[in-house]
Structure 1
Amino acid sequence: MVLDVPAHQRRSMGRLLGLIGAAGILLLILTPAGYADFFLFLAFYILLSAGAALCIGFTSHRFRLKRGPVDVEPFDYAPWLGVAALVTGTTITSFLMFKQFVMPPRGFPLDPALAAFDRWLFLGRDPWMVTHSLIGGWQAAKLLDIFYTQCWFILMYCFPAIAIALAKSYEIRLRLVSCWLASWILIGSVAAWILGSAGPCYYNALVGPDANFALLNQRLAELGRSAEAAGVTIHTLGYQPQLLSTFLNPRLEAVGGISAMPSMHVAMAALFAIGGFQIRRWLGWVMTGFAIAIWIGSIHFGWHYASDGVVGAAMMVALWKATALLTRARPAPRPDYR
């Protein structure tokens, strides 16, 4: 049975699409990103997210048919999954424009303070020295690389569709998708611009000379060579020079942009944990472990200072609590889950 989409849900869909649509148009007008490149990336990411939403929606629907009635408020999947595809594709394209064209002129004034705070926090040592002393082999680096690149990217990209397919009520669905969207704007863009910083792996190239971070880059290069000797590629190490090249020669690319504080990787992983707890308690704890692994990886590879992840996760928790205001006025859902 296909359910009609209630008016309050249609309004929510419209607000989500209107918010990211307005941000995309503004960035297209204000940045030197070409219209052809913008619409090419937009079409690609929307098609990719539409395919992911279709697969997730179909799999979830088949599972529920096989399992029978579950504790999920009934709703029409199709329009919500369509909104997820549009929001995801437009958000990623807009974020790439912001990070690659708006962030570079900001510069990186806070790196010295963040580096000093990390050293104070870790009793005079850089956090990366601690992780490399505990898990210094290429095998551990490869495991963190899988979490940090492949697993994180898939979960990040599919999260809106997963939230829509698995959330137990309209309220939870709206809050999770709203958090995902708002985090790119408020954490990944606004806060990143205010807290302009490059991160340890780019310190010597973009901020100034620092012996400890030069040693970090040497250590990462050694890890990469050790992995290659074993026939293994640590992908995140290949992204670092690629992002630097794009930063020095601004152009719209699928991978580009440099900013450290706050960490969107950790912030998004915190949202995975929040979403996990809304579905199943055990899943929330698994995703909490994943978020900790992402935080460690962000330090281990020199992408972020330790404080970047703490601030990113705290901001995401604050966003989650703030989204409760979006649904407070809505009447309680019907208890009939037929």
Structure 2
Amino acid sequence: MSTHGEQRGGNRRSATILDLDIAATRGGWLLVALCLAYAVAALWLQPYRYLHLAQSYAEPFVFFLPSLLAAGLGVAALIFARHAPIRFMLDTLTQRWLGAAPVIVLFFLGITAFTTLKVAIPDVVPFYADRALAGLDLRLHGTDPWAWAHSVVSEPLSAIIFASYGFGWLVQWFGTLLFVAFWNSPARRLRYLWAFALTTILCGTVLATLLSSAGPIFYDQLYGGDRFAGLQAALAQNGHATPVQAYANYLLAAYESGRPELGTGISAMPSMHVAFVTLNALFLTGFGRRWAMAGWSFAALILFGSVYAGWHYAVDGYLSILVVSLLWYLTGRFALPHVTRNTADAGVALPDPGAAVSELT
């Protein structure tokens, strides 16, 4: 009896895993179609900008991603395959490149489309929402959030904020996507990629266009007056804020000239920085408490930094957190409809980061 029961249990687990594989395959093709449609739409609407930006992104993309991939695989190899790190790296690339390559290519097409459409936002819907957003921030917090942020963080500590918001955010953004690209967990991989694509399209294009806004750092230049003169003065007096001011000048010059340059486009609501760290925090939560704490701590730091640097109103981040959390829930219902204890026991679920990395070995 026990033998037959074990066989039936094994058959049920095998059938469930097969169902997940089929669902992941179908969902994967739908995701590819969505990403390609997004890229084609941007190319059709703004052909010059799209092609120019594709060329601009190609060089840093080709350099940065392999460097980050090599660094990530190197760290993983030293931790989990110290006896043969080179073999670990080569085996991972050999076994997983075929599945990872489409993700990387679609990401390149998607980020080019995202920037193309972001640059075009003020052409479609001129900036209008800043007064309402600034007023909402003031009513919710009793003061301008940037003023409170500068009152609780000293100039020396601001160096950590600026570094995290710039380079740290970029590394986490690309690094998490690369990990998922090489991850051998079909359903959870699909869930993350769906959430990533929908976050980009809905938050970065649809909502950003409907709620066209520039952010506190550009408020006075675009609307006139001195509503955020205090913010400008605080940044000017902070020696660590020089890169922020330089990048703001770069964005403003590109906006005024209409040139589609690398990393350009002005859009405040919702915050894409906060959106992606929220997505990654939700993702990391699945690997255990320590990873959840790390992910959510970094997300809180980026939310604070977005206000401290003046790029965003606090409500920009709040909306991002709300929308991304909803997307994460919905993609879980779509991509993980049959994940049960049986599938977890069969190795589909990854309860800890060690198991996640072991999927790459």
The answer to whether residue 198 in structure 2 is matched with residue 182 in structure 1 is yes
Letter in 2 for 1:144: I
Contact conserved, 1:31 with 1:102, CA < 8 A, in 2?
no
- Correspondence for 2:208: 192
The answer to whether residue 170 in structure 2 is matched with residue 153 in structure 1 is yes
Q: CA RMSD in A?
A: 2.8
Kindly state the Cα deviation for residue 237 of structure 1 after the two structures are TM-superposed: 2.6
Unmatched 5+ stretches in structure 2: 1-17, 84-94, 348-358
Alpha-carbon distance change, 203 to 36 in structure 1, aligned in 2, over 3 angstroms: closer
Task: Give the one of 122, 126, 131 matched to 1:112.
Answer: 131
C-alpha separation in 2, matches of 1:144 and 1:38: 29
C-alpha separation in 2, matches of 1:245 and 1:158: 30
Contact conserved, 1:54 with 1:81, CA < 8 A, in 2?
no
Letter in 2 for 1:194: L
- Correspondence for 1:130: 148
- Correspondence for 2:113: 94
C-alpha separation in 2, matches of 1:187 and 1:199: 16
The answer to whether residue 238 in structure 2 is matched with residue 238 in structure 1 is no
Query: Which structure's CA Rg is the greater one?
Result: 2
Alpha-carbon distance change, 34 to 292 in structure 1, aligned in 2, over 3 angstroms: closer
Task: Give the one of 236, 249, 271 matched to 2:257.
Answer: 249
Letter in 2 for 1:188: G
- Correspondence for 1:216: 231
Unmatched 5+ stretches in structure 1: 68-75, 228-232
Contact conserved, 2:270 with 2:320, CA < 8 A, in 1?
yes
The answer to whether residue 283 in structure 2 is matched with residue 283 in structure 1 is no
C-alpha separation in 2, matches of 1:36 and 1:113: 35
Alpha-carbon distance change, 293 to 77 in structure 1, aligned in 2, over 3 angstroms: same
Kindly state the Cα deviation for residue 283 of structure 1 after the two structures are TM-superposed: 1.1
Of residues 11-20 and 303-312 in structure 1, the stretch that sits farther from structure 2 once superposed is: 11-20
SS in 2 for 1:323: helix
C-alpha separation in 2, matches of 1:41 and 1:321: 35
TM-score, normalised via structure 2 length: 0.78
C-alpha separation in 1, matches of 2:256 and 2:76: 44
Alpha-carbon distance change, 45 to 88 in structure 1, aligned in 2, over 3 angstroms: farther
| Count of aligned pairs | 316
C-alpha separation in 2, matches of 1:50 and 1:330: 34
C-alpha separation in 1, matches of 2:146 and 2:54: 39
Kindly state the Cα deviation for residue 248 of structure 1 after the two structures are TM-superposed: 0.9
Deviations 1:309-337 (A, max 9, x none): 11111111011001023224457647445
Task: Give the one of 296, 314, 321 matched to 1:306.
Answer: 314
SS in 1 for 2:218: helix
C-alpha separation in 1, matches of 2:123 and 2:158: 29
Alpha-carbon distance change, 120 to 182 in structure 1, aligned in 2, over 3 angstroms: same
Structure having the larger proportion of residues in helix: 2
Deviations 1:260-302 (A, max 9, x none): 1111111111112111111232111111111111111111111
Deviations 1:167-226 (A, max 9, x none): 7x3222111121111111001110111111111111111123133x01211211111xx3
- Correspondence for 2:43: 28
SS in 2 for 1:33: helix
C-alpha separation in 2, matches of 1:181 and 1:218: 38
Kindly state the Cα deviation for residue 50 of structure 1 after the two structures are TM-superposed: 5.5
Contact conserved, 1:13 with 1:83, CA < 8 A, in 2?
no
Kindly state the Cα deviation for residue 92 of structure 1 after the two structures are TM-superposed: 1.2
SS in 2 for 1:279: coil
- Correspondence for 2:88: none
SS in 2 for 1:190: helix
Of residues 213-222 and 8-17 in structure 1, the stretch that sits farther from structure 2 once superposed is: 8-17
C-alpha separation in 2, matches of 1:255 and 1:128: 24
C-alpha separation in 2, matches of 1:45 and 1:92: 13
Deviations 1:9-51 (A, max 9, x none): 4433333222122111111111152565244246446635762
Contact conserved, 2:270 with 2:319, CA < 8 A, in 1?
yes
Kindly state the Cα deviation for residue 6 of structure 1 after the two structures are TM-superposed: 5.1
TM-score, normalised via structure 1 length: 0.83
SS in 1 for 2:258: coil
Contact conserved, 2:119 with 2:264, CA < 8 A, in 1?
yes
